[in-house]
Amino acid sequence: MAGKNVLIVYAHQSAGSFNAAAKDASVEQLTAEGCNVVVSDLYAMKFKAAATEEDVTGEVKDSKHFKYGEETMVAWKESRLSADIVEEHKKVTEADLIIFQFPMYWFSVPAIMKGWIDRVLTQGFAFTSEKRYSQGLFKEKRAMLSFTTGSNEAMFSSNGINGDMNVTLWPLQNGILYYCGFQVLAPQIFWAPPHIPSDARDTMLEGWRKRLQGLLSETPLTFAPADSFDIGSGFQLKKEVKEQQAKAPFGLTVGHHMGKPLPPNNQIKAGV
């Protein structure tokens, strides 16, 4: 852990929140472990969430039909991105690990954090059509979600009213983090802190502090490698992969379930 660079992308409005306490615990524990910790406090920074033409300095290539991804990729190559994006790019480049700390809003991240994702994970800088998933640009880096929920764990089960948390996390962990190549560590989920006693919240934080001590040595979650898919067939699973999985009781992942039962806790615990 010593000498590693950690970026915490933090989104909560209140310094008295449980998310703030979790963020502070991360900073304190990781610093004690010898890490260099940087926090992007999005609300304090008044980070702009909307992805717009303002993110490009100078003239855009096609103002009549503005395409954000294409224009910002060109601007990135030509060093013409807005200063706030450039600053976050520097933090990401230097980071060995990125922790996203947030309260779950509408089964996803808060708008300001989604804006960070939209604007900072710029095409070209964070991914290309050739370099994504297991072949992604950030394959030497690790990333993880650390978040609070408003509902208890049972409500996010396969029989619960909110549905399986593994399914909820798939777009965030596969579609954003793994898409950019990150090795994705299992999420840290703080179940319904507003609805439990204060001593239970303290226990949650202590568990998080203990986990932080060995975080960078953890085994990442499992995703389907990019070479499991055939370009010629429109990026479908290769025939040999399907044959290998034919007798398996579960699908490959939550997303690549192949019409089979979902692999248990595929998006929550490593090695399962």
Distance CA 32, CA 1 (A): 10
pLDDT at 1 over 80: no
Write out pLDDT tens, residues 196-206: 999 999 999 99
- Chain mean position to CA 206: 23
Please give the backbone phi and psi of residue 98, each rounded to the nearest 5 degrees, phi first: -120, 125
pLDDT at 208 over 70: yes
pLDDT value of residue 271: 62
Write out pLDDT tens, residues 215-267: 999 999 999 999 999 999 999 999 999 999 999 999 999 999 999 999 999 99
Can you tell me the mean pLDDT for 63-80? 95
Distance CA 226, CA 72 (A): 25
Domain with CATH 3.40.50.360 in the chain: 5-221
pLDDT value of residue 2: 81
Assess contact for 119 and 160: CB atoms under 8 A.
no
Please give the backbone phi and psi of residue 222, each rounded to the nearest 5 degrees, phi first: -100, 130
Assess contact for 178 and 223: CB atoms under 8 A.
yes
> Could you tell me the pLDDT band of residue 63, with boundaries at 50, 70 and 90?
confident
Of 14, 30, 36, the C-alpha closest to 188 is 30
Strand locations in the chain, DSSP E?
A: 5-10, 36-41, 97-103, 142-148, 183-184, 188-190, 229-230, 236-237
Using the Cα atoms of residue 200, residue 216, residue 96 and residue 252 in order, give the sign of their dihedral: negative
Write out pLDDT tens, residues 95-142: 999 999 999 999 999 999 999 999 999 999 999 999 999 999 999 999
pLDDT value of residue 204: 97
What is the greatest pairwise CA distance in the chain? 57
CATH code at 5-221: 3.40.50.360
Write out pLDDT tens, residues 156-204: 999 999 999 999 999 999 999 999 999 999 999 999 999 999 999 999 9
Global pTM reads 0.96
Distance CA 231, CA 197 (A): 52
How much of the chain, in percent, has pLDDT values that exceed 90? 95
pLDDT value of residue 270: 83
